[in-house]
């Protein structure tokens, strides 16, 4: 009986040995080689290191734009309790637009009140800077440094034709963390907000790309790496909450044109308040169904008054709104239909004080063309 048990056990051991040295060999890893040599781990390695097209685009733009984006620190001397001068440092961002001349775009509020401005690049090289031009009404500023070598620079793109939903990238130095990249989309266009001095900033690009303190003055880029805006503000106190704003690059181009012509930039001013009416509203007011901007008030002494733009004769209540009626309906500006409430602000981004704007106006049952020579924004708007 014992011999029989021994025979059975010997058979089991022999079977196990055959299994381990033949069948199981194909199911377990070889002793030589590594995990990465097997198909399973090769596939995992590729998918872990692989980058999709959008990620590669982000990386390429960051590599190109980071070296052109700078940190700007400005020293402001303020009076203490005992009238002593105390230096305080404000920080922001900017970006090079001319590598040979050392021209840098930023926000005006980054430079406000500064006595000394220092620009720091990503390689930690530092330059003293001088202010060449300011456009406080659009929160823009232009600096110049004396470069020790030709500097990398960013291309200025176009802010006309931007689309809600298109991808944007913001680069800056939030909280002193230089070279920070955030991405998002354009959330809205032609926004009007108020800055910390209660000044209206018109025609702004709204984005959900994170913009925090220190990002001010940095570039907002499209997927080609071109500058389409200058990061300007965040909505609400503290840090980013998903609502940031950038000044469209078209306004910076106007300031640059004025500077190169040896002039200081003068913000154009029209001088009306309007509401957008169309469809049923327009028909209810006996206006053309295509509608337009119905003038609600005309500011005295402005280009609008000088051009003879008419305000309302009376006010009526439509739904829950009081509307001034009997005034001019502005149907088009320079041949472009007024289909948005920001149509005037959008048109002014391409103008400067002294430029001419042609209006198509509906008045008294007839359509007429009116030419307006734009005035200069009042001092409290500068």
Q: Give the active site residues.
A: 109, 139, 216
Burial (CB count <10 Å: 0-12, 13-18, 19+), residue 276: middle
**Structural Rg of the chain based on CA atoms:** 32
Q: Which among 382, 381, 190, 197 is positioned nearest to 299, based on CA atoms?
A: 381
Return all residues near 306 (Cβ < 8 A) that are at least 6 apart.
372, 373, 375
Q: What is the dihedral of CA 258, 259, 264, 270, to 10 degrees?
A: 30
- Identify any residues that bridge with 57 across adjacent strands, giving them in sequence order: none
Please give the Cα distance from 265 to 257 (Å, whole number): 9
How far is 108 from 251, CA to CA, in rounded Å? Answer: 13
Q: Using CA of residue 306, residue 307, residue 313, residue 314, what is the dihedral sign?
A: negative
User: Do residues 69 and 62 touch, judged by C-beta distance below 8 A?
Assistant: no
Closest to 160 (Cα-Cα) out of 127, 189, 198: 189
**Angstrom distance (rounded) from CA 35 to CA 172:** 42
Q: 287 near 357, Cβ under 8 Å?
A: no
């Amino acid at each position: 009986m014992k011999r029989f048990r021994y025979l059975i056990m010997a058979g089991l051991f022999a079977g196990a040995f055959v299994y381990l040295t033949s069948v199981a060999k194909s199911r377990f890893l070889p002793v030589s080689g590594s995990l990465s040599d097997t198909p399973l781990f090769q596939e995992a390695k590729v998918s872990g290191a692989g980058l999709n097209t959008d990620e590669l685009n982000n990386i390429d733009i960051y590599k190109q734009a980071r070296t052109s984006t700078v940190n700007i620190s400005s020293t402001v001397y303020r009076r203490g309790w005992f009238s002593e001068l105390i230096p305080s440092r404000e920080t922001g961002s900017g970006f090079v637009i001319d590598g040979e001349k050392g021209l840098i775009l930023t926000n005006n509020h980054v430079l406000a009140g500064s006595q000394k401005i220092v620009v720091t690049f990503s390689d930690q090289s530092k330059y003293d800077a001088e202010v060449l031009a300011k456009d406080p009404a659009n929160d823009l500023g232009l600096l110049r440094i004396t470069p020790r070598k030709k500097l990398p620079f960013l291309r200025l793109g176009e802010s006309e034709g931007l689309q809600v939903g298109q991808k944007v990238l913001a680069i800056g130095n939030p909280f002193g963390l230089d070279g920070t990249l955030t991405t998002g989309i354009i959330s809205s266009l032609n926004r009007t907000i108020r800055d910390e001095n209660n000044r209206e900033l018109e025609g702004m690009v709204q984005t959900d790309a994170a913009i925090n303190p220190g990002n001010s003055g940095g570039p907002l880029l499209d997927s080609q790496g071109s500058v389409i805006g200058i990061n300007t503000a965040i909505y609400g106190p503290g840090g980013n909450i998903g609502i940031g704003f950038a000044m469209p690059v078209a306004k910076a181009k106007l300031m640059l044109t004025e500077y190169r012509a040896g002039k200081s930039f003068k913000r154009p001013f029209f001088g009306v308040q309007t509401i957008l009416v169309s469809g049923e509203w327009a028909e209810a007011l006996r206006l053309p169904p295509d509608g337009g901007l119905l003038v609600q008030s005309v500011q005295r002494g402005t280009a609008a008054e000088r051009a003879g733009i008419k305000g309302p004769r009376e006010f009526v209540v439509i739904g829950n709104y009081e509307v001034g009626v009997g005034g001019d309906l502005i149907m088009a500006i320079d041949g472009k239909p007024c289909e948005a409430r920001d149509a005037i602000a959008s048109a002014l981004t391409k103008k400067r004080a002294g430029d001419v704007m042609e209006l198509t106006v509906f008045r008294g049952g007839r359509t007429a063309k009116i030419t307006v020579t734009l005035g200069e924004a009042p001092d409290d708007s500068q």
